[in-house]
Every structure is written in C-alpha cells, then in structure tokens.
Amino acid sequence: MFLVTLTPKPDSPYRDAGVQRLRNCNFFRCRDGLIHEMTIYYSNPGSADGADVHGSRPTGFPQA
C-alpha cells in the first residue's frame, strides 16, 4: 500500500475540493512470468459519508 496526494491546480475544476489523500494498492496477476492483469484499488478515507472536511466527493473520473 502507498499513499497518493492529489493537489488541484488553481484553474482546475477540482480546486474547491482541496488536497485529497488517497490510499492506493495495486494487485498483479502473473502468468508465465509476466504481468497478465493489474487491478488498481484506491480509497479516499476522508470522504466517508460522501463529503470530507472540504465538502468534496470521492475521487473519480475527471469532469468532461
């Protein structure tokens, strides 16, 4: 497991969310000595109950 810190740029649509700290873990399935499949899991523990202290939502895909 490792920690990821996301800091939005000043002109980003996520600037009001503030800094987010994610717990990240990668799982690998190997076949014949090569990575065959990789699953990336991350959580935003500060977003319990749908909002953290900044009022942000759990991290997801970027807004279009």
* Residue 29 lies inside a defined structural domain of this protein: yes
Condensed to tens digits (0 to 9), the pLDDT of residues 26-35 reads 899 999 999 9
Spatial separation of the C-alpha atoms in residues 23 and 14, rounded to whole Å = 19
What's the average model confidence in pLDDT over 14-34?
Answer: 88
Place of tokens 């920690």: 3
* Residue 55 lies inside a defined structural domain of this protein: no
Domain count, the chain: 1
- Dig out the tokens for 38 from the structure: 């990789």
Residue 37 in this model has a pLDDT that exceeds 90: yes
* Residue 52 lies inside a defined structural domain of this protein: no
* Residue 23 lies inside a defined structural domain of this protein: yes
* Residue 62 lies inside a defined structural domain of this protein: no
Spatial separation of the C-alpha atoms in residues 33 and 30, rounded to whole Å = 6
Per the DSSP assignment, residues forming a β-bridge with 38 are 28
- Dig out the tokens for 32 from the structure: 């014949």
* Residue 58 lies inside a defined structural domain of this protein: no
pTM beyond 0.85, yes or no: no
